[in-house]
Each structure stands twice: as C-alpha cells, then as structure tokens.
Amino acid sequence: MTAKYLVTGASGNLGQSVLRHLTETGKVAPSDIIAASRKPEALSDWAAKGVETCAVDFDDPASMESAFAQAERVLIISTDSLDRPGHRLVQHKAAIAAAEKAGVRHILYTSMPEPANSPLLFAPDHEGTESAISASAIPSWTILRNNWYFENVFLSVGPALASGNWYSAAAGGRIAHIARDDIGRALAAALIAPTDAKTVYTLTGTRTYSHAEIAELIGKAAGKAIAVVDVLLEGLVQGMVGAGLPEPVARVYASIDTMIGVGGLAEVTGDYKTLTGREPQAFEAWVESQAAAFKALVN
C-alpha cells in the first residue's frame, strides 16, 4: 500500500495548517494525504487539490476504522470536547483502538506540556491518552506536547483591552508559547518523518513571557495600556462567571492560570527546530502582525 498520511480534525484551524504545510513540503503528493473531519463538506477546497477527504467522528468508531484502514500514519488532533468531563479521553481511546484494529503503523497525538499531575483540569485527558498510546499494539508513535498558542491570548486580551485590566491568577508565572501555524508546521514534519521510533517532543517558543510582559507588548500594539491585576483563583473564577461563563467552564479556564503559576508552561526546548530545521516565530513579530486585530478590541 502506498503510504497514506491521515489528519483528523482537518477542518479546524490547526488541521488546516497541517494540511497546508504537508502540501507545501513538496515531499508528499496530495493524493497521499487523507483529510478527515466530522464536516467533510468543509474540505472541498482540499478535495479540489487532490487530497482525499472523508468523514470521521470520534463518537463513531466505525467511521474511524474505515478511514484509518486507508492510512499507515495517522495524526490524532485532540478533540475539543471539554463540556463533558472525561468524554474527550473516551473519544481518544476509541481512536487509538480503531487505529490498532485498522493496522495503522504509526500514530501521532497532540498533547500538552507536563500532563502528569498537572493542576490543569483537562490534563488527565492528555495523560490518559498518552498512556493508552504507550500501552497499545501500534508499532511506533509520536507524542507532540504543544505549548499554548499565541492565539490563545485573545481569550484574555479581548476583555482586557475593553476594560484596561487583565485579571490574572498566574502569580507571575511564565509561558513559552508558540504560534499555532508553527505547531502545524511541526506536526506536518513529524507526520512524514521516516521513523519507527516511540518519541515525545515538547513544542515551545524560544523564550518565556509573564502576563505583565504580554500585556505590555499587546498594549503598545493596540495603543491602550493594560494593567495586570493579580487576583486569587476563586476571584478569577467568579469574575468569569459574572461575565457569563458557566462555572465548570470558568474553572477549566482558570486552571490554566494555576498551571502557569507553577511553571507548567515555562519549559523551553529546541524540539521545534529539531523537527522543522528552523526557529519558531517570535512573539513580538506575531503581536505586530496582529496589531489591527488588537486595536479593533479597544473600546
């Protein structure tokens, strides 16, 4: 069988980035790529370029078995099922079982830094998935522990630019975050890398930033100062609830600050360059590229 490279979650932002970088390498024919999604109709542009598209639903094992049987290497982009505690791990385990049954030779999975014993409330999903992959009969695998995307700052900076205040429970902790498109490039490189090893990579930026430093950079780009206001975790939770978030969701988001505060996102590695041969985009350059978007958030 000709080597096939399958990407789940292919209609999402990260999946789209992976597909773009796969096709731009010149090392893989579009016909050797399978783009899988719950919404295959959203992949029509890729189908027009010769990429095979198919429907895959993580709640439908038969759909995964059928699709995975056509591929030797499968990239599992973690699902976004955070509204039902534990459901994402069930989905991921079903995907691993389907890959085993389909005879997949190599599986790749998008995890997070330091998932074991993490205060992040959805970390057990990643820790459990990594354990299930390690215990599986799949001959080889790659775990890609992705740090936070630059783009995730919009979750906090939107309200901060509107009010002038960024409420943080991170206690001065630091983040080695990285652009989502750089993650997509690294995933594409790992997917086509000729390896039969069992490997873990942690993908990070080249330096760390505190919330205060992030706020200063974005404030300058937006033309409005942002003051970081240190609060206790429960105060952060209740502030999110007051802004309209359901409390369980607010607690998940707030736990990100707890993880930052204990250094869970502060490790800097060279794994991105190892996979891609290049340095990741600098946060300052990304902020500059997003200046118009930041200015639009200012009231």
Same domain assignment for residues 42 and 97: yes
CATH of the domain at 96: 3.40.50.720
Same domain assignment for residues 13 and 81: yes
Handedness of CA 172, 280, 254, 166 (dihedral sign): positive
**Angle, CA 222 vertex, CA 221 and CA 225 arms, to 5°:** 100
Domain assignment present for residue 273? The answer is: no
User: Do 239 and 167 meet the contact criterion of CB atoms below 8 Å apart?
Assistant: yes
Domain assignment present for residue 189? The answer is: no
How much is the pLDDT for 48? 96
Same domain assignment for residues 166 and 80: no
- Domain interval for residue 247: 148-177+205-266+282-299
Span 43-87, pLDDT tens digits: 999 999 999 999 999 999 999 999 999 999 999 999 987 767 789
Same domain assignment for residues 115 and 167: no
User: Do 263 and 194 meet the contact criterion of CB atoms below 8 Å apart?
Assistant: no
Span 204-234, pLDDT tens digits: 999 999 999 999 999 999 999 999 999 999 9
Same domain assignment for residues 168 and 298: yes
Residue 243: pLDDT over 90: no
Domain assignment present for residue 294? The answer is: yes
How much is the pLDDT for 35? 97
Q: How far is CA 295 from CA 45, 137, 209, 290, 299, in A?
A: 32, 51, 21, 9, 9
Span 169-201, pLDDT tens digits: 999 999 999 999 999 999 999 999 988 899 999
User: Do 58 and 79 meet the contact criterion of CB atoms below 8 Å apart?
Assistant: yes
CATH of the domain at 248: 3.90.25.10
Residue 64 to residue 222: CA distance in whole angstroms: 44
Structure tokens at 205: 């930026």
Same domain assignment for residues 22 and 100: yes
Same domain assignment for residues 167 and 292: yes
Domain assignment present for residue 186? The answer is: no
Place of tokens 């759909």: 63
Domain assignment present for residue 190? The answer is: no
Nearest to 157 by CA among 238, 249, 221: 221
| Confidence grade of residue 2 (pLDDT, cut at 50, 70, 90) | low
Span 87-125, pLDDT tens digits: 999 999 999 999 999 999 999 999 999 999 999 999 999
Residue 13 to residue 181: CA distance in whole angstroms: 9
- DSSP letter (8 states) at residue 168: E
Assign 36 to helix, strand or coil: strand
Rounded mean pLDDT of the chain?
95
Average pLDDT rounded to a whole number, residues 23-31: 91
Question: What is the chain's Cα-based Rg?
Answer: 20
How much is the pLDDT for 170? 96
How much is the pLDDT for 121? 93
Average pLDDT rounded to a whole number, residues 246-274: 95
- Our count of domains for the chain comes to 2
How much is the pLDDT for 88? 93
Residue 163 to residue 158: CA distance in whole angstroms: 9
Span 120-144, pLDDT tens digits: 999 999 999 999 999 999 999 999 9
Same domain assignment for residues 103 and 163: no
Same domain assignment for residues 41 and 18: yes
Same domain assignment for residues 232 and 89: no
Domain assignment present for residue 53? The answer is: yes
